[in-house]
Amino acid sequence: MTERVLPLVVRIERAAPPERTDALEAAATAVLRLLDQDEWSEPIAEWEDHRIRKVVRRARGSEWRRVLTLPGITVTHRTAEVRVHPPVPLDDWPTDLSRLQVSGTDLADSAPPPEPDLGGVVLWVNPSLEMTAGKAMAQAGHGAQLAWWASGETARAAWRGRGLAVSVRTAGPARWAELGGGGLPVVRDAGFTEIEPGSATVIADAPWLPQGVLEV
C-alpha cells in the first residue's frame, strides 16, 4: 500500500492571522470531519495503515484560493480557517500544496481562551513542550483522531450530535501529571520535527474515552 500523509492548510493572512487556539481547534475539527465521511475511504485506509503523519502548511491570498479548488473540507472556527485534504502519497503532493510553506505558523492568542466545552473532547497539550502553532495543530489532529478511534458507535453518535465538539487547551503542570496517570489516550510524537522522539504531546479527555497510546 502507498504511504500517505494528511495535508492540513491554515489560512494566515498578513493583516489578520488567526488566534492560536482557534487554529488548533480548527485543525482538530477538520481531522474529525474527514474521518466522519466515506468519500475518501481508500486513501484514508492506506494512510492509516502506516504512521498517521500530518503536515500543516500555510497559505494566503491567491495561494488559499488555489487550495480551495482541490478536494478537501474547509473548517471555519472563530478567527481560523483550516482546510484538510484527502491523504496524499508521501512523495507525490499536488503542486498547489507542495509549494506552500511549512514555516511561518507562529501564532499567538490575544487573550486567554475560554473554559473548554466539557461536553465534547478536550485535548490537553503538554505544558513543558515548546511547539510552533503548525506543530501543535498536527498534534491536536493526532489527539482528535485517537479520540475518534477510541470512541464506540454510541459515543460517536452522541459526539456527532454535539457537532463533534473539541477544545484544545494547554494543561497546567499539576493537571498534566494527573491526566497522565488516568489511563486516557496519549499522543507520543515520532520526533521528526521540533521535539524529542517519544514525547507525550497531547492527552485526549472525555468521560467515554478508554486507555490508549498513539505513536505518530
Name 157's Cβ contacts closer than 8 Å, sequence gap at least 6: none
Lookup result for grid cell 488548533:
24
User: Has residue 213 got a pLDDT over 70?
Assistant: no
Q: Would you state the cell numbers that stand for residue 195, as one nine-digit string?
A: 521535539
> If pLDDT is split at 50, 70 and 90, which confidence band does 7 have?
very high
**Local confidence band at 215 (pLDDT 50, 70, 90 cut-offs):** very low
Confidence of residue 119 (pLDDT cuts 50, 70, 90): confident
Residue 121 has pLDDT above 90, yes or no: yes
Q: What is the pLDDT of residue 182?
A: 80
pLDDT exceeds 80 at position 38: yes
CA-to-CA separations, 54 to 78, 102, 142, 156, 189, in angstroms, rounded: 23, 12, 8, 23, 11
Q: Is pLDDT above 70 for 18?
A: yes
Beta bridge partners of 200: 188
The pairing of beta strand 4-11 with beta strand 80-84: antiparallel
- In this prediction, residues 98-112 reach a mean pLDDT of 94
pLDDT class for 207, splitting at 50, 70, 90? confident
**Could you tell me which residue, 103 or 32, shows the higher pLDDT?**
32
Residue 161 is predicted with a pLDDT of 94
CA-to-CA distance for 164 and 120, rounded, in angstroms? 7
Predicted local distance difference test score (pLDDT) of residue 48: 95
Q: How far apart are CA 51 and CA 65, in angstroms?
A: 30
pLDDT digits (tens, 9 = 90+) for 150-199: 999 999 999 999 999 999 999 999 999 999 888 899 999 988 888 999 99
**pLDDT, tens digit, 9 for 90 and up, residues 44-102:** 999 999 889 999 999 999 999 999 999 999 999 999 999 999 999 999 999 999 999 99
pLDDT value for 216 = 53
